[in-house]
């Protein structure tokens, strides 16, 4: 499993129960806004590999995510995302896939190098294992869609999934932004409201579902997000591999 160091940060795999608990505590802080809330943990933690990004000067955990490898679309029902989206269209995808989940950065930190190192680690993993599609749920904080209407309008206008892969509705409560929104997005405001992880997916050619799931338990709105590795622009691939190298 990969290990990557760039500048003051290093990414490494979790190698103990203590590492996984540290990741769960950071997730609790990032998603619940309270480090003392009920620990963010679920059955998928035992099935996934966990990646930690640490500050080498202090040893503090600054970012984490988990990855679930799948041999192809025939295993898509095993994914976390399949709880919320009807993903039968992706069953015909024949290449190796990875679900990237529970991505979070310490909310007190704003250093863009943290995200770069995390993506460098994921890029190294993708290259080492021959992954052809990366996917997951990209989350907007809170469940009020009003503050994100320009972002959702931008997703509708430029970033909807190809019809052959488009997820269908499964969750009981969703915001059908592609169906409901008629507004022209304010591009600047849309990108300001777009979650950093989703923004990075989109810059690489990623696409999203035509609806957002309203997840009251996690206090988020999330969209299914897919990225076909072969579709990443060559210049973007070079940048990612430079970080991963």
Hey, which bits of the chain come out as E strands? 4-6, 9-13, 49-55, 61-70, 85-86, 97-105, 133-141, 168-169, 174-175, 207-208, 212-215, 220-228
Mean pLDDT score, 91-102: 97
pLDDT: is 47 or 243 the higher one? 47
- Report the top-level CATH class of 4-244: alpha beta
Q: With 60 as the cut, is the pLDDT of residue 1 above it?
A: no
pTM of the shown model: 0.93
Mean pLDDT score, 14-22: 97
For the chain, what percent of residues have pLDDT higher than 70? 98
| pLDDT reported for residue 85 | 98
**pLDDT band, residue 234 (cuts 50/70/90):** confident
């Amino acid at each position: 499993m990969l290990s990557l160091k760039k500048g003051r940060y290093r990414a490494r795999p979790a190698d103990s129960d203590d590492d996984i608990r540290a990741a769960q505590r950071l997730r609790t802080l990032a998603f619940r806004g309270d480090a003392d809330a009920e620990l963010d943990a679920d059955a998928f933690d035992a099935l996934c590999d966990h990646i930690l990004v640490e500050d080498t000067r202090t040893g503090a955990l600054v970012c984490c995510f988990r990855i679930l490898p799948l041999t192809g679309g025939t295993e898509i029902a095993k994914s976390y995302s399949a709880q919320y989206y009807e993903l039968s269209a992706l069953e015909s995808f024949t290449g190796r896939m990875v679900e990237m989940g529970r991505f979070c950065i310490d909310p007190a930190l704003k250093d863009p190098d943290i995200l770069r190192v995390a993506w460098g680690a994921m890029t190294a993993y993708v290259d080492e294992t021959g992954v052809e599609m990366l996917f997951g749920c990209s989350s907007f904080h809170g469940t009020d869609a009003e503050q994100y209407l320009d972002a959702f309008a931008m997703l509708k206008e430029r970033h909807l999934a190809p019809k052959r892969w488009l997820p269908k509705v499964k969750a009981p409560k969703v915001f059908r932004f592609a169906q409901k929104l008629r507004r022209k997005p304010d591009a600047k405001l849309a990108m300001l409201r777009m979650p950093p992880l989703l923004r990075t997916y989109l810059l690489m050619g990623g696409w999203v579902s035509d609806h957002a799931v309203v997840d009251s338990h996690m206090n988020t709105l999330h969209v299914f997000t897919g990225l076909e590795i072969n579709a990443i622009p060559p210049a973007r691939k070079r940048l990612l591999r430079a970080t991963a190298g």
